[in-house]
Structure 1
Amino acid sequence: MSLAEDRVTPGARTDVMPVESSKSAIAWGPIIGGAVAASGITLILLLLGSGVGLTMVSPWSGESSSAATVGVTAAIWLVVVQWLSSAFGGYLTGRLRTKWAAIHTDEVFFRDTAHGFLSWALATVFVAGFLASSLTSLAGAGANAAGQAAMAAGVAGGAAAASASDTDTTGPSMSTAYFTDALLRPQNIADRANADNGAAAAEISRILLQGAVNGSVPDGDKAYIAGIVSARTGLSEADARTRVDTVLKQIDDAKVAAQAAADKARKAAATSALIGSLSLLVGAFIAAAAAALGGRQRDEEEDLVAVSRGPLV
C-alpha cells in the first residue's frame, strides 16, 4: 500500500486529483558540493601518489623499480583514488540534501542514487583537465613507439640521404636514386670505391635504405656492398661479406626491437585505457551507492530528532 493510501482518513474524499509539486527533484547545491569535495580529494591523492611514485624512480642504475612495477602501481593507485573520491563525494551529496517530505521510499532511493551519479559526473569533468595530459601521454605512447620503429627502419640511409640532398639538389629523388645507382654501377667495383669516397658511401646508404623499405637487401646488392667494403678496407671478399651480413643483422635487430617496444607500449596503453574505464564505471556506482547511504542516514537522523521532540501540541 502506498504512502498516499496510508494517509487516507475515514470519510475523506478520495476523488481529489493529486497536486504536482513545483519543486525540482534535483538539488544542485549538494551535487556541486559533493563534486567539489570529490575533486579536492582526487587532487590530494594524486599529488600523494606522485610523491610516492617519484621515490620508486632513480637516475642511478639498479636503484629504480622496474617499469612494469611502476606502471602497475600507478594503475592501482588511480583506481583507489577514483573509488575513495567517489565514495566521499557521493556520501556528502546524500547527507547534505534536504529531506523530501511525502515522497515514497523507492523514489527517495532513486533520487539519492541519481544525485550521487551526477556528483560523480561533475567531479569527473572537473578532474578531466588535470588528467588530460597523462591520458594523452598514455594514448600516444604507442604512436611514438611506432614512429621510432619507422625511424629505425630508415636509420641506415637517413644521414646519407640528407648528405646527398645537400651535395646534389638537382639529382634524382630518393625513390629513384637506388635504381639510378643500379644502372650506373661500374664493372670494376674497386674503381668505384677508390674514385669517390662520398659517392660510394651515399650509394651504400641508399641501398640499405631501399632494403629497409623492402624488408631485405637482395643478394646482388649485398655482393656489391661487400665489394666496395673489400676495396676500401683491404678485407677479403669473404670477410667483407661477413661484415656486411653482420651490419644488416644489426639493422634488422634494431627494427625488431623498435617494433617490440611499439607493441609493448600499445598493450600498456590499451590496458591503462581498459582499467581506467572500468574504474570510472565502478566509481560511478560507488558514488551513487554512497549518496543513497548518506541520504538514508540523514533521513533516519531527522526521524530520530522528530521522535525525541515528541508530538506537537
Structure 2
Amino acid sequence: MAIDAPTGVTVVSGAASTTDDVSYVDWPAIFAGILLASAISVVFISFGSAIGLNFLDFDGEGASPIWIAIAAASWFLWVQISSFMAGGYLTGRLRRRHFDATEHESDVRDGAHGLLVWAGAAVLGTIIAIGGIGAAVSTAGNVVATATNAASNAADVSVDPNAYFIDTLFRSNQPAAGGDISAVRDEAGRIFAQAALGDGTIAADDKTYLANVVAANTGLTPEEASARVDQVAAAVNDARLKAIETARIARNTGIIGAFLIAASLLISAIGAYWAAQKGGNHRDDETVFADVFRRF
C-alpha cells in the first residue's frame, strides 16, 4: 500500500529509501538537541544563581531562606522542563523522516527522538553535577561534624573511646588545685563529650566531680561551682540539639529535593516527547515562523 507524503514534501525514491540497513534513529539530530538543552540549562541556571545571590544577606536582613529556596526550586524546574522541550523540538525539526511510515508512526518516532534527547541530556547533566553534589555533601558533612565537635567541646575522643571510663577509674576524691589544669580540662571535655554522644545528660557522679574540680581551681563556692557546671551542661546539650535539628532539616530537604527532581524529570520527559512531535509536525508542514523570525 502506497503512503502519500505530506503536502509540499518531496519523496526521494531509490535504493537508499528502501534498504533495510537505514536506521530510523537520527543521531546527529539527537546530539543537536542534547547540546541545545544542556546549553540552555547552563545559561539560565547560572543567570538564576546570579540573581539569587543578590537576595542573600549574611547579616540576617535579606529575604527569607524559605522563600529563596522556593524561588530557586521553581526556577530550576522551569529551566529544566523548558530546556528539554527546546532540545526535543529541535531534534524533531531536524530529524530526517522516512516516508515508509504513516503519519501516526512518524509522530511516534519524532517523540521517541525527543525521549532520547531527554535521556542523553539527563545523563550528561548527572555526570556534570556529580562533582557539585559530592562537594555539597562533603561540605554538609563538615558542617555537621563541626557542630558535633562544638557540642561535645572535647578533645579527639575518637582516638581512645575508653578514655572517659579510664578517667573514672583513676579519679581522685580530692581534686588538685592550682598549677597546670590542662589535664583537668581535658578530662572535663571527655565528660561532656560522653554526654553529647548519649542523650545529653551528665551523670550525677560526673556533675559532683566537675563541681569539686571547678571549685578547687576557680575559688568558687561549691554551690556556685555546681551552678556553673549545670549552666555549661545545658549549653552543651542545646548545641547538641541544634546539631541534631540541623541534620534532620538537611535530611528532609534532601528527601524533598530528590522527589522534586524525579517529578520534574518525568514531566520533562513528557514535554520533550510532545515538543519533538510538534517539531516534526512543523517540519512536515514547512512552518517557518515568518511572524516571529522576520527578515529585515
Structure 1 residue 180 corresponds to structure 2 residue 166: yes
1:254 to 239, 246, 250: 239
Query: Using the alignment, how far apart are the partners of 1:126 and 1:214 within structure 2?
Result: 44
Superposed displacement of residue 64, structure 1:
2.2
Q: Which runs of 4+ in 1 moved over 6 A?
A: none
2:254, 2:187 → 1: CA distance?
40
Distance 2:68 2:231 in 1: 36
SS of aligned partner of 1:41: helix
Q: CA deviation at 1:254?
A: 0.4
Higher helix share: 1
Give the match's secondary structure for 1:158. Answer: coil
1:197-216 matches, cutoff 5 A: 197-215=181-199, 216=201
Deviation by residue 1:115-152 (Cα, 9 ceiling, x = unmatched): 11111222233333443344335555654454345323
Give the letter for the 2:167 counterpart: D
The 1:213/1:50 distance shift into structure 2, 3 A limit, reads: closer
**What pairs with 1:72-221 in structure 2 (closer than 5 Å)?**
72-140=70-138, 143-155=141-153, 157-158=154-155, 174-189=160-175, 192-194=176-178, 196-215=180-199, 216-221=201-206
For 1:114, give the aligned amino acid: A
In 2: Cα distance, 1:139 partner to 1:281 partner:
25
Q: Is 107-116 or 127-136 further displaced after alignment?
A: 127-136
CA distance in 2, matches of 1:46, 1:195: 60
Q: What is the aligned partner in structure 2 of residue 278 from structure 1?
A: 263
Pick the structure with greater CA Rg: 1
Match runs of 1:220-259 below 5 Å: 220-259=205-244
Q: Give the letter for the 1:25 counterpart.
A: Y
The offset of 1:298, in angstroms, is 1.8
**SS of residue in 2 equivalent to 1:150:** helix
**Partner Cα distance (1:33, 1:154) in 2:** 55
TM-score by length of 1: 0.77
**Paired residue for 1:56?**
55
Q: 1:11 aligns to what?
A: none
Q: Do 2:86 and 2:275's aligned partners in 1 also have CA atoms closer than 8 Å?
A: yes
Q: 1:213 to 1:6 in 2, by over 3 A?
A: closer
RMSD: 2.7
Q: Deviations over 1:274-300 (max 9, x none)?
A: 211211121111111100111122223
For the pair 1:299 / 2:296, whether they are aligned, the reply is: no
Identity of counterpart residues, as a percentage?
A: 33
One-letter amino acid of the structure 1 residue matched with residue 168 of structure 2:
A
Cα-to-partner distance string for 1:46-81 (whole Å, 9 max, x where unaligned) = 22112211211234x244223222222221111111
Q: Go from structure 1 to structure 2 and tell me whether the alpha carbon gap of 1:174 and 1:23 turns closer, same or farther (over 3 Å shift).
A: closer
2:33 counterpart letter in structure 1: G
- Structure 2's unaligned 5+ residue stretches are 5-17, 288-296
With over 3 angstroms needed to count, the CA separation of the structure-2 counterparts of 1:149 and 1:256, relative to structure 1, is: same
- How far is 1:25 from its partner? 1.2
Deviations 1:128-187 (A, max 9, x none): 3443344335555654454345323432x227x79xxxxxxxxxx744443333333333
For residue 16 of structure 1, what is the aligned residue in structure 2? none
Where does structure 1 lack aligned partners over 5 or more consecutive residues?
8-18, 163-172, 303-313
Amino acid of the structure 2 residue aligned with 1:31: I
TM normalised by structure 2 equals 0.81
Q: Deviations over 1:161-220 (max 9, x none)?
A: 79xxxxxxxxxx74444333333333334xx23465333323322322333334322111
Distance 1:25 1:274 in 2: 34
Distance 2:39 2:174 in 1: 76
